[in-house]
Chain A
Amino acid sequence: MIVEDAICSFCGCLCDDINVEVEEGKIKRVRHACRLGSSKILGHERIKAPMIRRGGELCMVSYQEAYDRAAEILLRAQKPLLYGWASTVCEAQKKGILLAEEVGGVLDSTATVCHGPSVIGIEEKGLPGATLGQVKNRADTIVFWGCNPAEAHPRHSLRYSSNVCGRFTPEGRAGRKIVVVDVRETRTSKNADKTVIIQPGTDYEVISALRMLVAGKGDVVPDEVGGVPKAELDGLAKTLLAARFGAVFFGLGITHSRGRYKNIDNALSLVTELNSHTKFVIMPMRGHYNVGGIGQVLAWSSGFPMSVDFTRNAPYFNPGETAACDLLAKADTDAALIIAADAASNFPRAAVEALAKIPVIQIDPYENPTTLISEVVIPSAIAGVEAEGTAYRMDGMALRMRKLVDTSYPSDEEILSHILESVHRLQRGLER
């Protein structure tokens, strides 16, 4: 059987033209997907059964035992952290928020180690954006700033940006000007008409210089900014102003480096100002396929898009205090549920050390470094492959992920529902 037009559940591109060949309940071949997507859809070695750590070793247990133990850990904790949520569907995220409310925990997503600064930038300035199809159909100028889609979002250029043809862009790549701004040359810059290499940590200064040049105040710009000669920056400003429809895509190159959310704030201002002259939009290159979704679901449920503290029954949001890395750095959390993310790999070492000191519940299809420090491990179906649900693409478009094959593993949503039931049962027991 061939499943046509399946949606890939790797990155924020959510490519929806994947053909998957299924034989006897197993995925045999994946067509149209990139290396990242086909690797994910084809699958790897799985965690076989739920496990609880006893005497230092993870021992297999029943699902019910694992749910009960997870519930006990969460209820016993003063301030549990419920972290991850990027590689699962919205239905699981909704259950997770309810669980965080029930146990009085902090819910945070992988955004806080990716585009969290972008979210804060958007809180400061708003987001002048568009759907990806708008870029495909209209953009004649595209800037990739601090991002490397050739490796992180391999089909972005073919489906949505540099190389695709649209109604007002019939020539595709040939009709477009592609600019890369980065601290290094990348696979993406090989496809660019112009690459501007800046010194690491100078994004803010370079964006400020461009704002001045765009506003016609070039006289205040020094001869060199961020290692880039003024003449080159002036050329870039002219390229931006000459666009009929321009798009800026930015990545962790500017959210992760000096300035962090201030870089985004400044980039958003640049794009807002460019709209006084021509048409420009800007978009963060979201990594995990549904990291956008947890931001959306959290916002409509709790009013805030990440790092929400429910310990006082009312949502409280203060990144720098309620974000996962801050809680761990300050030993301000005493248990963690890690779902659909690998915190042990992706957090700074000191945060991982703090995580290893508290009881950790892991919900994931695969063994990974988080498994090594977990007390309870609950294997799940792969959302987007073995379980259906909704996901939000990097441009905010909601798409329905189909189930491609059957599985005996419970979905994230089912696991969370069972933990919620165990929590309720334990709460009733405590009341008695």
Chain B
Amino acid sequence: MIIKGGIVYDPANGIFGEEMDLCVDEGRMAEDGKGEVIDARGLLVMPGGVDAHSHIAGTKVNTGRIMRPDDARLGIEPRSGVCRPCTGYTVPNCYAIGYRYARMGYTTAFEAATPIIEARHTHEELEEIPILDKGALTLFGTNWEVMECVRDKDIGKLAAYVAWGLRSARGYGVKIVNPGGGEAWGFGSNVKGPNDPVPNFDVTGAEIICGLAQANEMLRLPHSIHLHFNNLGKPGNYTTALETLELLKDIKPSRMRQVVHVAHMQFSAYGGTSWRDFESKAPVIADYFNSHNHATMDLGQLLFGSATTMTADAPLEYGNARLTHNKWSNHDIELEESSGVVPMVYFRKMLVNAVQWAIGLELALLTRDPWKVLMTTDHPNGSPFINYPEVITLLMSKPKRDAEMATLHEQLPKRTSLGGIERELDWTEIAIMTRAAPARILGLEDKGHFGPGADADISIYDLRPEEVDPSRDHALVKKALAAAKYTIKSGIVVSQKGQILAAPPGRTLR
């Protein structure tokens, strides 16, 4: 296959919008190609999108589906052509997940939280998701064996346990959620921060995080630890974030990458002492990332409308349920974890929600190096992934942000710096934040770039980067990003102008 004349963004290889041909041979990028020719003259061409943090498979995702028939009805598409039927908006069925990512030009997605003991369920669903290459991060943050190794300061044994856990769970990397909190939640309480002792175990969250980070580097894993902070979602929690990041700054990475990846930073960049004086602390967080190189983040951008919150941070979900009086599922997992699911709606006129919306954008715009920031919505916590084009256009267009802010709570400008930020991201930065950086942060050598031998995952959009001004023409950009002109997965055209043409099974990466 040859893709002719596209305007190619391949930042990992130093290509920033050059007109060039791309060649594919046997599902990989190659020097030469033959056969099918795709005319991409003048069009935006990027590697297939990589989502490093999304909740797409496993017990809590399916619990979300089971408890939300209302949501299933929001996204019904009948079966047709190669497509099985689709349902759901925030908690789509497996088929919808594959087709909808592919339509947007995404070809890889990672499930962000799987307990070892329930990994079989996660893989059953991952296998059923068509088209995408997939992986799953394995939860270790509140695991009895982990806590005992950390208590005994036996990092070698901890590394052995992590290796066993990843192998048993067919996991890709080490996920830590509210370390120690899941154990406390076993008897209905929580830890108050990284230095709070975990009940019945003589350890703290801080010790668990550092122990797992050291074990992670001892094992030279492709990905760093992937961390969901303590106190997530609470006013004033930015101090917890900074305190926790400081713990890790002296750990040496075993590979050319970060030591810690922070999940959905938006939910941990909160100021104020209560919801009443709630405000953004994104500038402080962004400063930290600007002045340190051991950490990366994904946004966890929040958008207005329906979401389903789901996390291994079970006490947080109980709080959500009490706050919203919404239905609540909880699932404590013996020896390992706890988790919860609560449906949520984010409102424009609710100041807290508006501030949360602004924080995600601030983080992306104030962090200078796009290699440190991934564009995500923590699907479906901040918003379903289907809304990525909305996030991307907000990041690319100051006028769009201003127009949006004008519809929000009038107190918002006092609680966020967003209104004063002039920066508009360009296609190189978007290609980094949605392709190159997630692949590099995860340690996926064959993803997120077009170098020879890389997986031939390619997205071609009906946009002429040399003609279109995303700042002004954001509506046009959003429309084009929602349905790629071509999505190519391992050298096969899987989607064209929003229509799924082929649905190969995809691989599970581990």
Contacts and interface: CB of A to CB of B under 8 A. Distances in A.
A contacts B directly (C-beta below 8 A): yes
B124 A126 contact: no
Nearest to A399: B120
A126 B79 contact: no
Indicate the member of B65, B66, B84, B335 with the most A CB atoms within 10 Å: B66
B328 interface: yes
Interface string B95-122: 1000000000000000000000110110
A215 to B, nearest CB: 14
Interface in A116-158: 119, 122-134, 136-138
A303 interface: yes
Contact of A127 (B57, B67, B117, B333): B67
A134 B339 CA distance: 13
Contacts of A119: 66
Given A134-B334, A168-B200, A400-B120, A313 B188 contact: no
A396 B341 CA distance: 15
Interface string A152-174: 00000000000000011000000
B80 A125 contact: no
A64 B262 CA distance: 57
B321 to A, nearest CB: 7
A63 B128 CA distance: 29
Interface residues of B, number: 53
Interface stretch (A180-188, A292-300, A416-424): A292-300
A346 B316 CA distance: 42
Contacts of B341: 126
Contact of A130 (B78, B93, B330, B342): B330
B67 A122 contact: yes
Contact of B331 (A129, A297, A398): A129
A303 B93 contact: yes
A301 B76 contact: no
A301 B86 CA distance: 8
B59 A396 contact: yes
A317 interface: yes
B94 A315 contact: no
B77 A245 contact: no
A28 to B, nearest CB: 30
B322 interface: yes
B67 A134 contact: no
A347 interface: no
Interface string A98-129: 00010000000000000000010011111111
A138 B186 contact: yes
Contacts of B66: 119, 122-123, 295, 299, 305
Indicate the member of B120, B330, B335 with the most A CB atoms within 10 Å: B330
Interface string B325-367: 0011111111100000110000000000000000000000000
A387 B144 CA distance: 35
A312 interface: yes
Contact of A303 (B59, B87, B185): B87
Contacts of B84: 101, 301
Nearest to A272: B328
B229 interface: no
B85 A302 contact: yes
Indicate the member of A133, A302, A313, A390 with the most B CB atoms within 10 Å: A302
A279 interface: yes
A312 B187 CA distance: 47
Nearest to B329: A126
B125 interface: yes
A267 interface: no
A302 B75 CA distance: 11
A130 B120 contact: no
A281 interface: yes
Contact of A125 (B186, B327, B332): B327
A279 B338 CA distance: 13
A281 B79 contact: no
B88 interface: yes
Contact of A275 (B85, B318, B327, B334): B318
Indicate the member of A90, A119, A134, A168 with the most B CB atoms within 10 Å: A134
Nearest to A395: B331
A126 B128 contact: no
Nearest to A310: B85
Nearest to A168: B200
B334 A137 contact: yes
A305 B62 CA distance: 9
A275 B187 CA distance: 10
Given A138-B186, A317-B69, A301 B93 contact: yes
B254 interface: no
Contacts of A314: 76-79, 85, 87
Contact of B63 (A127, A297, A390, A398): A127
Contacts of A167: 144
B1 interface: no
B437 interface: no
B12 to A, nearest CB: 34
Nearest to A119: B66
Indicate the member of B57, B117, B186, B342 with the most A CB atoms within 10 Å: B186
Contacts of B331: 127, 129-131, 396
A94 B120 CA distance: 16
B67 A133 contact: no
B454 interface: no
A244 interface: yes
A304 interface: yes
A345 interface: no
Indicate the member of B57, B88, B342 with the most A CB atoms within 10 Å: B88
Contacts of A301: 84, 93-95, 128
Given A130-B332, A313-B78, A279 B121 contact: no
A313 B332 CA distance: 37
Nearest to B331: A129
B78 A398 contact: no
A239 interface: no
A302 B69 contact: no
A278 B334 CA distance: 18
Interface in A312-328: 312-315, 317
B90 to A, nearest CB: 12
Contacts of A397: 117-118, 121
Interface in B123-151: 124-125, 128, 144
A244 B187 contact: yes
Interface string B257-274: 000000000000000000
A191 to B, nearest CB: 23
A39 interface: no
A62 interface: no
B121 A396 contact: yes
A90 B127 CA distance: 13
A300 B85 contact: no
Contacts of B144: 167
A404 B125 CA distance: 26
Nearest to B326: A126
A128 B328 contact: yes
A276 interface: yes
B333 A317 contact: no
B65 A299 contact: yes
A273 to B, nearest CB: 10
B65 A128 contact: no
* 10 residue pairs, one from A and one from B, having the closest CB atoms: A133-B334, A303-B87, A279-B188, A303-B72, A313-B78, A126-B327, A130-B332, A126-B329, A314-B78, A398-B120
22 contacts: A119-B66, A123-B69, A126-B321, A126-B329, A126-B330, A127-B329, A127-B331, A128-B330, A129-B331, A134-B334, A245-B188, A278-B188, A299-B62, A301-B93, A301-B94, A302-B85, A303-B88, A304-B69, A315-B76, A396-B121, A398-B120, A398-B124
Given A132-B334, A397-B117, A398-B121, 6 more contacts: A101-B85, A124-B327, A125-B327, A168-B200, A301-B95, A317-B72
Interface of B: 57, 59, 61-63, 65-69, 72, 75-80, 84-85, 87-88, 91-95, 117-118, 120-121, 124-125, 128, 144, 185-188, 200, 318, 321-322, 327-335, 341-342
